[in-house]
A and B are shown apart, each in its own frame.
Chain A
């Protein structure tokens, strides 16, 4: 179904910064992009009835259970569990570098992490609304805070609560197996989930020390899961709007570098661009999607654009 995506509602980054209720922001965000979600559970033809679900805007009217409508005067869709379930895993980068906030511009003072958790919450809300299993793996302080995928409403609330409490700190674990381990554990809890579709949404700034993020993501590819990489980039990093001698300090290591910003700009931008291309080259394929999110742009616009693009496939 090619639903029309309204282009009227945007989430102002300042609103995100001002609102503490993460769920509210997430729902507002989702409200703007909802028609772009993946096709909901396959109704009708399922071998095993799963449940009736209330009709939601965006559902194909052909899948309505007209008999039930006749009885209850309400719209319901008949869903089949096995074929339509898509497990969504949120892999949130909560390392120190996610503290990054632009020094100027529309998103000044807004941390990447604030945006990332809004997006994560939004995806969680969507998944919950659609009845998809949702799990959260937040990488922080060299470890992983993990909530294996589940379908309960309580799980969604726990995820939102966790997101609200999380603060970016520490570094990405150097051992890629730690990520793979929690993913495997999550698969086991669902039980036979290997057979289900799984989307891993990675929310990260992409700052790594020695390719540890790529190393962690590489095993996920082999599991034939889709990966959506949301790359959060600040205006400071994209435009590098600095001049003169600047003392740069790195979030995670505290390393300091004093240099002439004007002289270093071209090399910085070229290196970063090359780095992103390397990422895309490494993961480009059927099941990998890359989306760059600028911290000074409305989030929903970027997300909507992405979802629209996916729908066309």
Chain B
């Protein structure tokens, strides 16, 4: 395969317009007067034709010389392809073959297709090689990788269910191969589209609560069921997901798994300790405390976790309750010794706007990123102006002023909200983002659930049509082993030298003498001259 290091240098071949123009331009013939034209062979048509033909040959040599020089400038390389085009049949691990698909698969193998798993490294899918398990399949990425691995002109046939979760990112544009996606059944008919998301002891300790996620080809994996089981149950069937939950009790701990039809690994039940929260508010901040208390309760409900809440108004004799979290609303700052004591007991403190702070009533907004559902900014009507200090600013308002400040004292956390938990100050406290933030703050249980492994949704068939890159896409094959390249400079130099010599010889050689011609015609009629040879 011929490659050019500097293809733009081929434009130099445009210089061949010069010899073409030179050859097109014929200088007018010199005029010589003779006594008689009688002895001149007067076959001008033939003569000129001969002349042009010879010139044309010279022109060809000159054009070839210029093209050779242009090619030389472009630095040609001859690429020895390490291997010829290949044909791969790629099967994803979640693809199940029905009879028709099996027939296609076997037909391809009979044609010489290599059976490979659609998995990193593309292991051999024929024979005894086990099916790769584990990581989610990123089909687009794998197909792109396969295309880069195989030589140009190869063919890929992908056997996989067009599962949406496998098609992440941009659809690949293939530059070396032609790929065909053959949609297979996803195996969901056999394996239930449900999974045990979590198993935990109920709040009262007298039952187990299981979250079972489910997803089908049509529904998103967000539909989950929450079922409560007695402790002595050994198995329970969930008709909604057509799955069976097995339970096992060992040494006061429980574990569960979805068993039908294929057993999953055991998931141990988690035992949650109750979270203790206390709200201490000033005399005028009862309503603020109510919003906070409601958010804390809502968080416990949503997360199905027990949160004990102690709300009291601060008086001079108020003793700080034993708690994991203390919300101090509209009260004076803690004295340093007290704060230190709280820190030693790992008590986290959340405070709102200090009483003596200067209010800033210019409307603004802020985004609470803890709630990804509510992307709308919360409106902020009032806040207090705080002196900037070294403590880290977690949130800022729309003007960049600090709104939520975080610091640590020992292992304990100190949060300060520079506004009030009151709808007159912002509308955040009335949105769903507020209890969401409370859940994040207090329970820390919102894990990033990886739904992609359970997402059974299928993509539209048109989405798995794979496009072949146009010729404008320049791509170098990563086929292994690497292709060998040979520089063609020496050969082209030799060709240039040869052409140059030929050009010099053709342009400088004397005209070949022609055989004697005898003109018998009278000179007054040169056009009628006949040539007898």
Contact = CB atoms under 8 A, between A and B. Distances in A.
B505 interface: no
B421 to A, nearest CB: 106
Given A209-B523, A250-B523, A257-B42, A100 B34 contact: yes
Interface in B27-61: 28-44, 47-48, 50-51
B497 interface: no
A266 B523 contact: no
B522 interface: yes
B37 A266 contact: no
Interface residues of A, number: 44
A268 interface: yes
Contact of A260 (B31, B35, B47, B516): B47
A249 B38 contact: no
B518 A255 contact: no
Interface string A229-251: 00000101100001111111111
A210 interface: yes
B40 A264 contact: yes
The interface size bin for chain B is 35 or more
B168 to A, nearest CB: 75
A237 B519 CA distance: 16
Contact of A263 (B39, B50, B523, B524): B50
B517 A267 contact: yes
Contact of A259 (B35, B47, B512, B523): B47
Contacts of A259: 40-44, 47
A272 B38 CA distance: 9
A97 interface: yes
B33 A249 contact: yes
A267 B516 contact: yes
Given A257-B526, A266-B515, A271-B518, A245 B51 contact: yes
Nearest to B42: A257
A260 B371 CA distance: 96
B513 interface: yes
Interface string A105-148: 00000001000000000000000000000000000000000000
B511 interface: yes
B372 interface: no
B510 interface: yes
A103 B514 contact: no
B47 A271 contact: no
Given A97-B36, A242-B32, A245-B29, A264 B514 contact: yes
Interface of B: 28-44, 47-48, 50-51, 510-519, 522-524, 526
Interface of A: 97-100, 103, 112, 205, 207-210, 234, 236-237, 242-251, 253, 255-260, 262-272, 274-275
24 contacts: A99-B33, A234-B35, A246-B29, A246-B32, A247-B28, A248-B34, A248-B37, A249-B31, A251-B33, A251-B35, A256-B526, A259-B44, A259-B47, A260-B50, A260-B51, A262-B510, A262-B511, A263-B47, A263-B511, A265-B513, A267-B41, A267-B514, A267-B515, A271-B518
